[in-house]
A and B are shown apart, each in its own frame.
Chain A
Amino acid sequence: MTDNTKELIINLGPQHPATHGVLRLILEVEGEIIKKCIPHIGYLHRGVEKLSEDLTYVQVLPLTDRLDYLSSMINNVGFCLAIEKLMGINVPERAKFIRTMMAEMARICSHLLWIATHALDIGAMTVFLYAMRDREKLLEMFEMVTGARLTVSYPRIGGVRCDINDKFLEELEKFIEEFPSKVEEYETLIDRNRVWLKRTKGVGVITAEEAINWGLTGPTLRGSGVYYDVRKFFPYDAYDKVEFEVPVGKNGDVYDRYKCRMLEFRQSAKIIKQCIEKLPTGPILAEEAPRIRMPSSPLKINKEDIQFEIYLMEKNIEDFIKKFTEVYASVEAPRGELGFYIVCDESAKPYRMRVRAPSFVHAGALSRLCEGSLIADVIANIGSIDIVLGECDR
């Protein structure tokens, strides 16, 4: 009988509903066991990095919404942090707290969609409905303050766009009060469910060392038992002024990554609660923040500066290099470490922008996670690393 077996190549995606967007996987299978898994990406490539070279820093900000569209607030914060570092802008205290609060709201929002789709992929329909119910409330609150539900464009270089009001704070407080009980509801449904355990425990195991070598970050890394969180190690905004814990898993399988995110729900709720209590009064935009019509001080567009070729011919290369500054700032996005690396010249536009997207790294690690497992486990793995293809392909 063994003579009749042969390798079969299966194409999973890009239209498959469980691949969370437009991820395409080429699976080389032998029977039911996967020998090789090759992820193909790029179906959602819009060239955000290249596009940003032609726009001023203020104009790039709405583009970062479209990277990880499930937590656009955190993307914006990451970009703003990089530019603030570059220009040396001190963000007012109130703006910092508002940003932290909204970023944690976005994290809950993103994790809720993750638990909804992940559970739906594995076969638990009810969790999807319950998680969407609670996400709707958060989106409504986003709409109240920012004017949009998903692509918020709320932070601004040097602060935030508009102030929050008491009505919003009241509603948020109400939501946060009852949110932990909602998380318990999801856990009642799937935490100890035997089908859930069979599908997740011992699936997609990755050791701590391997996870670090693959460059995994966020809950995917913490599920393997590595204590790393940008919020704790390189605190930005108001994260050094609030108390929270970083949940860490043990076995590094799908179940532990799920558990990590479920614990993060509670920590996020805790952070928001502290932010509401400690919210100071004062301005929400730094005085030196650039006006919406860039260019403004301290970086001004100079027509001669834009023409680099001419500059190179006239002056020597060392002067040319001195003109450039580079900056890297990272934030803890719901998926992992999201970094913005910007090389800038003296103009108001970035010379080069590079986005370190966690989804891109995680999609690469998918080949390692899926090797040797069953076809059904591929879906569980894709769900557990929680990739967004908008961020992956950029």
Chain B
Amino acid sequence: MKVGEFIEKILMIEIIKGLWLTLRMLFSKPVTIQYPFERRKVHEGFRGRHALVRDPFTGNDKCIGCMRCTTVCPSRCIHIKREKRENKMVVTDYVIEASRCIYCAYCVEACPVCALVLTEDYEYSQYSIENLVFDKERLLKNWDEFTKKWGKDYYFNKFWQPPGIDPSRWPKTKREQGPIQIKRVEEIKREGIDESFIN
């Protein structure tokens, strides 16, 4: 053993160095977030609770029942019930089993009319697993709950039109999709916007 190493061992230099580091940290700003009292703001495009977009003009969902989301879903947790009424396909129910979902957002990307979204909402734990089977009403309610928290007038999800991808890869309806107005149609009426625009 060299003399230097011996002195280092006797004087416990390496331990003192470590303790000095921890002591210095005592006076630095804490990085911990006290979770239930303060919440971290998630970034835009976070894949959280599912919701069906409520069309501000019709007050209903936008799903056309093309079944693309069900075919693309890797965990097969989306079920669509549809009926033929007067030569028109009508979506009667739209069910997502959130407990089976793996949050890949492929459904959001595949949707041609941007009807489905994984919102930035992340606190939705339930006591019972039945409450995590979202039907159409529940999904629309999720959207309302989310928009209440969302501070801006418009909402646009990143995965509807992923940045950097050539738009020619999407269907026409998807390409033309702009940000969604969060205000309901009644509120728009109240503010005096032309009614012909609604129809």
A110 vs B89: C-alpha distance in the bound complex, in angstroms?
Answer: 49
B146 interface residue (CB < 8 Å to A): no
Mask: chain B, 141-160; 1 = CB below 8 Å from A; 0 = not: 00000000000000000110
Q: How far does the alpha carbon of A348 sit from the alpha carbon of B197 in the complex, in Å?
A: 44
Q: How far is the CA of A63 from the CA of B17 in the complex (A)?
A: 45
Q: Which of B37-59 contact A (CB under 8 A)?
A: 42-43, 45-47
A125-151 vs B: 1/0 string, CB under 8 Å?
Answer: 010000001001000100110011001
Q: How many A-B residue pairs have CB under 8 A?
A: 90
Q: Write out the residue numbers on chain B whose beta carbons fall within 8 Å of the beta carbon of A161.
A: 162
Supposing A185-B21, A192-B14 touch, asked if A293 and B166 sit within 8 A by C-beta, the answer is: no
A55 to B42, CA, bound (A): 31
Q: Is B121 an interface residue (CB 8 A)?
A: no
* Residue of A63, A147, A163, A188 touching B18 (CB-CB under 8 A): A188
A242 CB–B CB distance under 8 Å: no
**Would B110 and A292 count as touching, CB distance under 8 A?**
yes
A148 touches B47 (CB 8 A): yes
Residues of B contacting A151 in the complex (Cβ-Cβ under 8 angstroms): 102-104
The residues of B that contact A140 with a CB separation of less than 8 Å are 43
Q: How large is the interface on B (under 10, 10 to 19, 20 to 34, 35 or more residues)?
A: 20 to 34
Q: Is the CB of A285 within 8 A of B43?
A: no
Q: Is the CB of A55 within 8 A of B22?
A: no
Task: Please indicate the chain B residues that have their CB under 8 angstroms from the CB of A291 in the complex.
Answer: 169
**Which B-chain residue is minimally distant from A164 (CB atoms)?**
B164
- Give the residues from 151 to 175 in chain A that come closer than 8 angstroms, CB to CB, to chain B: 151, 153, 160-163, 165
27 A-B pairs whose Cβ atoms sit less than 8 Å apart in the complex: A59-B72, A59-B74, A62-B102, A126-B22, A133-B31, A136-B31, A143-B42, A144-B45, A147-B118, A148-B46, A148-B47, A151-B104, A160-B164, A162-B158, A162-B159, A162-B163, A163-B163, A163-B164, A165-B163, A189-B21, A193-B18, A283-B164, A285-B165, A285-B166, A287-B166, A292-B110, A293-B71
